[in-house]
Amino acid sequence: MTGLRVLAVDDVPPALTELCRLLEDAPEVSEVAGAGDAVSALRRIQSERFDAVFLDISMPGLDGLEMASLLAKLSEPPAIVFVTAHEQHAVAAYGIGAVDYLLKPVRAERLSATLARIRKHGPVQPAEPAVGVTDSMAALPVEVGGRTRYVRRSEVRFVEAHGDYVRLHTPSGVHLVRMPISRMEEYWEGAGFARVHRSYLLALSAVRELRSDSAGGLLAHTDLGDVPVSRRHARDLRERLLRAAHHGELNR
């Protein structure tokens, strides 16, 4: 079996040089290419075939997570490995389907294990997720007072869109996570959450009652406040609540 063709992507030149050097020294790799930004990397991927892409996450413009989401839509996507100095993105990375998540500085033996996994299973088989990174992102890392804590999905009453971020409303407070609400919907829709508005994702088990507002609109009442329900989502929400009640899923 021939060696892997690998593309390394990092916007910091010294970091890119070091990553390319590590990959070139690895016996599992036959060819290494480098790109200083996600756009340049995408251009190369469109014209060349790579077995794996090693991606930094924090890059200006299109970041590593966004680029990985685009690559995942290819008919034959390369294996994605994130290389970053920040561990708080691990949940989102594995949710996208990353094969591995390497923390800088990367150790040669750790890199070798990742490359061996790619060689053995091919680019479409993700690695076993890290502890706590299971069940369609059952917990999300958030920054609180300079520390990273994990907010469990079961704590979240509703999710509110905030640009490229979402606000997780929980009894312990409101937590900001960098992720579009559309992607959050994909991860949590099958875990008891329903999209009820273009800006809101609601935990069905958090609904105490449905009520009308002063303008005749529908509100879902939770212990953390009311969530607006758009007319296009109202019928689906009622039906899902009835099914959840029938199966005893509304008791928190």
Q: What is the DSSP string of 125-189?
A: -PPPPPTT--TTTSEEEEEETTEEEEEEGGG-SEEEEETTEEEEEETTEEEEEES-HHHHHHHHG
pTM over cut 0.85: no
Q: Where in the chain are all domains bearing CATH 2.40.50.1020?
A: 152-246
- Return the pLDDT at 131: 39
Q: What is the mean pLDDT of residues 82-87?
A: 77
- Return the pLDDT at 132: 37
- Return the pLDDT at 98: 76
- Return the pLDDT at 193: 93
Q: Which CATH topology does 4-121 take?
A: Rossmann fold (3.40.50)
- Return the pLDDT at 152: 87
Q: What is the mean pLDDT of residues 48-77?
A: 84
- Return the pLDDT at 23: 96
Contact between 24 and 32 (Cβ < 8 Å): yes
- Return the pLDDT at 170: 95
Place of tokens 């990273």: 148
Longest Cα separation, the chain: 69
Contact between 138 and 188 (Cβ < 8 Å): no
Cis peptide before 105 (omega within 30 of 0): yes
- Paired residues of 197 in beta bridges: 200
Average pLDDT along the chain: 83
Q: Where in the chain are all domains bearing CATH 3.40.50.2300?
A: 4-121
Can you identify the CATH homologous superfamily of domain 152-246? LytTr DNA-binding domain (2.40.50.1020)
- Using 50, 70 and 90 to split pLDDT, how confident is the model at 204? very high
Q: What is the mean pLDDT of residues 29-52?
A: 91
Residue 22 CA to residue 95 CA, distance in Å, equals: 26
